[in-house]
Structures are given as structure tokens and as C-alpha cells.
Amino acid sequence: MFELSSKMNDERIEEIGENHVGTSAKTPLRADAFDITDEQKIEKIQESVKDILTTLGMDLSDDSLQGTPKRVAKAFVNELFMGLNPKNKPKASTFDNNYNYGEMLVEKNIVVYSTCEHHLLPIIGRAHVAYISDGKVIGLSKMNRIVEYFAKRPQVQERLTMQVVQAMQEALGTQDVACVIDAKHLCVNSRGIKDIESSTVTAEFGGKFKEKDRKREFLDYLKMDTNFD
């Protein structure tokens, strides 16, 4: 009975991984996720990476590989997955809309570097974020930082899109926020079906952006040529 249950669970895990199913709108974190320090996490991850490379047959005494476990561990904690830690959440400072700008503001082509949580391979693309002020405005660079914060974690693109919108809504005190992300997943491009041409587009529309005309206006802005070279 245990073997059958284990086999069924393995099959379910494989199916989820291949189909990129997101199981929650929130990043799944354990309650004790931050009971140890970043330095302690780096030490533990370093040993795990060392075990992986050794299991694969790599000679870690080689000059090129000696520092790899430490480099990978530091990259995981301080860079690739720094968005897991709430202490790194950007302060989304807002200001009064004193100039009474009433149209949508669109920040296009925000670079997305994330990591697929199913295979730990890169997701690379662009995010387009828009909002309509309800009395507050947010610094442009803060929009980039919000995208970066939620991207820098093991992620599912659908969840990332929703998290960006929810964070912007919370900061601005309005539901009138939208986000579209177009990205390539290396778990599709470099393994499995190995389709190097395909990309994935996700969208989340809140408040007025659910209206047909507003949604169309936003999407039309994305078509504009903003190459100023």
C-alpha cells in the first residue's frame, strides 16, 4: 500500500512539474523559514550543493570547482532567491497626486529574471505594469523593484503576475492596477520539449482594467515602439 501511494505521489509531482501548475497565489513558505540566519542557510546549502556535485561524479578538488558550492549557496540566498525574505521587500513610497494626472501610467519592459520552482531553471522576460491613480502615485523605480522582489524566488509566472498586482494595489490603495508578463522558461526551452521559440504570457487586471476599453488601451500601449536608439 505504501509503495502504491508513493508511486502515485511521484506521478502527481511529475505531472505538476511538467504542466507548471501553481498551487497557491502565495509563495509556499514554511512557518520556520526564517528561524536561521542567511549565513547559516549559506553554510547548509553549500554542503548540499557539495553532495549533489559529488554524487554527479564531479571532482571538487579541481581548482575550477573548489569554490562552486559556496558560490552557488551565496547566489541562492543573496541574489536568486533574495525575494523570499520579507526584510528585502522594497519600501513602496507613495506621494500625493498633486498634478491630478488622471490617465493610466504604464511602466513597460521591466526586466524579469526569475527561477521556475519546478526545475529551478531560469525564467527570463519582460513585465509591463500599469495603474490609474486614486490620489496616490508611486516612484517609477519602485515598480521595477516590486517586480524584482517577487521574481527573485522559486516562482510560477501566474503567481508572479498576481503578486506584482497585489503589491501595487496595497501600496497605492486602489484596485486599478494591471500587469502583463511575457517570458521564456528554460525548463521548456532547454529540456523536455526543447522549444526555444515559445514564450509564456500571463496577465492580471484589477479594477478599471477589467473594463474592455481600459484593457484595450493598456494593451495598445504595449504595442508602441519605445526603442529610442
Annotated catalytic sites, by residue? 116-119, 157, 185, 187
Could you give the domains of the chain?
Answer: 34-80 (1.10.286.10), 92-223 (3.30.1130.10)
Q: Tell me if residue 115 falls in helix, strand or coil.
A: strand
Q: What is the pLDDT of residues 37-46, one digit of tens each?
A: 999 999 999 9
Check pLDDT > 90 for residue 55.
yes
Do 22 and 156 form a contact (C-beta atoms < 8 A)?
A: yes
Cα 91 to Cα 57, 95, 164, 225: the distances in Å are 45, 13, 14, 31
Q: What is the pLDDT of residues 165-187, one digit of tens each?
A: 999 999 999 999 999 999 999 98
What pLDDT is stored for residue 9 in this prediction?
A: 57
**What nine digits make up the cell of 33?**
523559514
At 192, the pLDDT band (50, 70, 90 cuts) reads: confident
Q: What is the pLDDT of residues 209-222, one digit of tens each?
A: 999 999 999 999 99
What pLDDT is stored for residue 229 in this prediction?
A: 64
CA 142 to the chain's CA centroid:
16
Q: Give the pairing type, strands 104-116 and 154-155.
A: parallel
Distance CA 135, CA 133 (A): 5
